[in-house]
Amino acid sequence: MTTLPPTTRSRLQKIPLASIVWEGDRRSLGSMASHLDGVKNTDDQCIIWVDGSEGAVRAMDVVAEDMGMEAVVRTLLRAIESPHHPTQPCRPQKIVVRDREIQFFLRGVLQDLGINVEYAPQLPLIDRLFEGFAVMEEDQPSPLPAVYEEAIDRVASKIWSQAPWELLADSDILQVELKDCEIERVYICVMGMMSAEYGVLIYRSLDSLKQFRQAALGDHHSAAELEKAFLAQDCWFLNYEEIEDPENSVVDESSMEAFFGSLHPFEGMRHFLDEAETSIVYATLESLQRFCDRHRAILAQEPIEAVTKSYRIALPATTEQKRTITTKVSTLPELSAELLDMGHSDFPGFSPEANMPIQEDLIPDGALVSLASIPRELIKQLQHQSKTYCQSAKVTTKTAELPTIFIQTTRSKANRLITRIQDAGGLKAVCFNPGHDPFNGEVYDLGMLQTEDDELYIFAEYSHDVVQQAKALEKWHQRCKKTKGYCGLVIAMGATGANRGNPQAKDMLALFEVKSINGEDLGMGVLKLMPDFDF
């Protein structure tokens, strides 16, 4: 179809016809894709219409490369009827394109609208616009100075292999003194022991470290307030991000990518470092790696005793003249105790009647949690599937299905979750107990996993005010009644793939068979829910 419907044509004819010329084109995004929200495919194309009299973009769309000519028309009609603010609706007297096929197609579509469609080999306005995009791309600073890239990636790889988060909690702060540097002292906070994110924060001031911890553990618990506190930090950071590879089930250096950057109240988050910054970050990370390697036994103790060690760190040579930085790394037992007290005083957790600690750090961020059931045939298949870990219970009922909690995340996070449960002796029970949020008055049922070491971990909250959640929980209890309390926990991968929300047998990495119990069985009453933020 190459003509507009009569009703659409009549509507467009009522829009004023202006004596102006527009340029229109369809071009490949290329490297521009990385700068556009929600656009990742560099093969996508940009359709753009520009007003030549005002130099203003009236409409722009990003479409797939194989999208037909109709997409060009859709963007043009939007430029006519509902252009970007502040331009007003109008019909141009003439439009110019540089593609003969588009020209002939539009001539057929725009009949009776008084719009001339002409061809030109060049479009000055759009050409300049895309040239500006190219300059912006060229002006983007490199994340790290070239001379440091290999060395700092190497030390980041060493730190990943060393896994200091197995030794240091976020309250176990290390001080690093730097001789003859712009900053004399920094403070290291290692992330990973109590969260699903791994990395190193290098604070430029102790006050910033304390302020963020206070904000994260205090009463300011809304997402906006936490984001404000996060952006107010004064630190450099090293973060590790997983590279998804379905063919590789082992999480090693090759499956993780290191990212560096800076946070500052005036700058926000910045994903590049200059040479002076990089020299400090490199010397600090190299010192951390050596310190943890040398004092692993001491750092494994609780509490960590006072230890100090000095190092000479050779920086990558920019010229024939080599430069070294002398550093001194120290544990800070008194500061660690202060930070722990800060958490205890400002973060009471759940009401103490049950005298039982309840944690929220087991389920990975971004995991999909659902209440469902699985047929007996699938259970048998999983029990014979070599890559699936199974903890079996003596289920005495003959029901066709087993009520099951599904936790779907990425492969590496799923494996870490399974390992944590195994290290705790296995899964002991699934528990549901009423909870109350004093900040908004809502009442929840808290879903918890109890491990064999009697630790409790929240996996989900089911609000009584949300009909869908209340019905899901009611159905869960009905299913468990039929199985005499027996249920399962399935941990699956594939949260970022085609099976997101619908894991298949090949995605299921663990099945734990246990009983579902009530909080009363553990001596719990109604629990008061308090904010809990990973630091």
Report phi then psi at 283, rounded to 5.
-60, -40
Strand order in the sheet with 56-63: 56-63, 45-51, 17-28, 91-97, 116-119
Output the pLDDT for position 6: 86
CATH of residue 91: 3.30.420
Measured in degrees and rounded to the nearest 5, phi and psi for residue 486 equal -75, 140
Which pLDDT does position 349 carry in this prediction? 40
Boundary of a domain, candidates 87, 116, 139: 139
- Number of separate domains in the chain: 3
Q: In terms of domains, do 237 and 285 share one?
A: yes
pLDDT in tens, the chain (535 residues): 567 888 888 999 999 999 999 999 999 876 555 555 444 455 789 999 999 888 889 999 988 888 889 999 999 999 999 998 888 999 999 999 999 999 999 999 998 899 999 999 999 999 888 887 766 555 556 788 888 999 999 999 999 999 898 788 888 999 999 998 989 999 999 987 655 578 999 999 999 999 888 877 665 455 566 667 788 899 999 998 866 544 544 444 456 789 999 998 888 888 889 989 999 999 999 999 999 999 988 988 878 899 999 999 999 876 556 789 999 999 999 998 888 777 544 333 444 344 456 888 899 888 899 999 999 899 999 988 888 999 988 776 778 889 999 999 988 899 999 999 999 999 999 999 888 766 666 778 889 999 999 899 999 988 887 777 888 888 898 889 888 889 999 999 988 777 888 889 989 999 999 999 888 777 776 776 555 444 3
Cα–Cα dist 177/192, whole Å: 24
Give yes or no: residues 69 and 169 share one domain. no
Q: Is residue 1 part of a domain?
A: no
Omega prior to 434 cis, within 30 of 0: no
Residues 164, 165, 166, 170, Cα dihedral to 10°: 120
Q: In this structure, are 158 and 258 located in the same domain?
A: yes
Q: Is residue 315 located within the same domain as residue 185?
A: yes
- CB environment 472-490: b (16+ within 10 A), e (fewer): ebeebeebbeebebbbbbb
Q: List 46's β-bridge partners, or say none.
A: 27, 62
Tell me the residue range of the domain where 186 lies. Answer: 146-346
Residue 367 identity: A
37 is a domain residue: yes
Cβ–Cβ under 8 Å, residues 176 and 185: yes
User: Are 75 and 129 in a shared domain?
Assistant: yes
Sequence letter at residue 160: W
**Other Cβ atoms closer than 10 A to 15:** 14
Say whether both 318 and 462 belong to one domain.
no
